[in-house]
Amino acid sequence: MSGPSTYEPKTGFTKWLDTRLPIVRLAYDSFIDFPTPKNLNYWWTFGGILAVCLVIQIVTGIVLAMHYIASTKDAFASVERIMRDIDYGWLIRNIHATGASMFFLAVYIPMFRGMYYGSYKQPREMLWILGVVIYGLMMATAFMGYVLPWGQMSFHGSAVITNLIGAIPLVGPTIKTYLMGGPAIGDATLNRFFSLHYLLPFVIAGVVILHIWALHVPGNGNPTGVSVKDAKKDTVPFHPYYTVKDGFAIVVFLIVFAAFVFYFPNALGHADNSIEANPLQTPAHIVPEWYLLPFYAILRAITFDIGPIPAKLIGVALMFGSILILFVLPWLDTSKVRSMRYRPFARQMFLGFVIASIGLGFCGANDPDTLIFKFREDKLSLNYTATTGATTSEIFDDFAAAQAKLQSLPPTAGGAIEISKSGFKWLWLSQILSAYYFLYFLVILPVLGVIEKPKPRPASIADSVRKKHGSKAKTAPAGAAAPQAAE
């Protein structure tokens, strides 16, 4: 969408520079005069917010690296030293740790936005794919960063993840060994994770430049999904219109950010990570950080083998598949209409997708075998080996009856009384939601594009804006139309 450059260097120096390195021209065309659809809502402000997040993480991270020691003996103590002894270390570390969560929050919202408004569709496929690449790099960076404090959850969480990689057939064990640099997570692992954790944010910054480049070729999408037809009527310059709008969104976002940093710095982390890593003792519940919980739920949803393929491998494949599927989303969605505003059925399905994704997060946080709700009151079950050799289980309402029956059994029966619960397990919910997650991409989107009859779309962005604000047509006198808009 970037038309011919309108930048005119004014001073002698900028004229001289412009013929040698037209960097001011590039910035002017990209962030000042860039024609931007006039109807973008606040869901479009997260690009600026994410840029701020990346800068915050890099700046605080560089400072933390000055004090952190990547060694299994010293890592935990060095983080405690940052928190207690280094001036403002607590502040910088809290910003960095909270920043990771905020970064993911700020990346999930525009991902959902892109899915709702069809931002990934032609001609913005590369823009979307580069976004997914950034997201993947963010997950790798966050995973390695979480290992560095060398707490219990750092250690055992990374053990679970590296074991997952080991479950990949043929190459898995080799990759796992090369990843860990030894038989178990240890000094070698910690040092290479630290090195890569420092590197990857700069790789992200590089991909962000490609992402912005890919954005500036077709220009922004917009809530109507209708392409810009007349740059004069449909667009406004990025500055001041969107610098101000993005700036306001950034300020609101930073208020939330600061609230977490100063008032709830530990709300988003796990208490077990305040205990130094002990390879001989596993925490009762290993859970990843909140932003990875939906994928953890998909991993654990598979508890059954399919033919010769073991459950563990299917779980791993689906977990990675749930992310990789985003790469081909532009080709799975067959609808020509970008925005779901005009796709009445698709928007219902999308709502279901959002609920499934968030629901999977809750499934990931809960023990799969605990019950969401009970079918009946807990009873007692007596399990024993019958004289025929079969394992038998009987349900009793009260303890005395169960005890009496147990007494009557021969000692060889090996009877034992247990609490018998019956209810709806978190596991089942995660299985249902995982199924919906994949159905949405593999069945609902491809089929809906063919069978759904979309609602009429506005002729242009300018048209939709006029309609929203009540003016009938552009021939109507501006003054006459405006008062009616108040209704």
In contact, 173 and 127? CB cutoff 8 Å: no
Beta carbon nearer to another protein, 193 or 342: 193
Q: Are strands 416-420 and 379-385 parallel, antiparallel or unpaired?
A: antiparallel
Tokens of 13: 């120096």
Rounded to a whole number of angstroms, the distance between the first and last alpha carbons of the chain is 36
Shortest distance in whole angstroms from residue 175 CB to another protein: 10
Beta carbon nearer to another protein, 206 or 414: 414
Shortest distance in whole angstroms from residue 85 CB to another protein: 29
Beta carbon nearer to another protein, 106 or 382: 382
The residues that touch another protein, with contacts defined as CB under 8 A, are 156, 159-160, 162-164, 177-179, 181-186, 188, 192, 279-282, 284-286, 300, 303, 310-312, 368-369
Shortest distance in whole angstroms from residue 31 CB to another protein: 38
Shortest distance in whole angstroms from residue 182 CB to another protein: 5
Rounded-to-integer distance, Cα 64 and Cα 57, Å: 10
Beta carbon nearer to another protein, 247 or 423: 423
Shortest distance in whole angstroms from residue 92 CB to another protein: 31
Tokens of 150: 């060398």
Beta carbon nearer to another protein, 299 or 346: 299
Beta carbon nearer to another protein, 30 or 191: 191
Shortest distance in whole angstroms from residue 130 CB to another protein: 25
Closest CA to 367 of 297, 462, 432: 297
Q: Quick one: CA dihedral 254, 101, 141, 208, positive or negative? A: negative
Shortest distance in whole angstroms from residue 412 CB to another protein: 11
Beta carbon nearer to another protein, 122 or 163: 163
Shortest distance in whole angstroms from residue 167 CB to another protein: 9
Rounded-to-integer distance, Cα 196 and Cα 122, Å: 34
Rounded-to-integer distance, Cα 323 and Cα 320, Å: 6
Shortest distance in whole angstroms from residue 169 CB to another protein: 14
Beta carbon nearer to another protein, 304 or 375: 304
Closest CA to 119 of 18, 221, 199, 45: 221
Beta carbon nearer to another protein, 286 or 358: 286
In contact, 168 and 316? CB cutoff 8 Å: yes
Shortest distance in whole angstroms from residue 298 CB to another protein: 14
Beta carbon nearer to another protein, 217 or 309: 309
In contact, 233 and 460? CB cutoff 8 Å: yes
Shortest distance in whole angstroms from residue 133 CB to another protein: 22
Beta carbon nearer to another protein, 426 or 440: 426
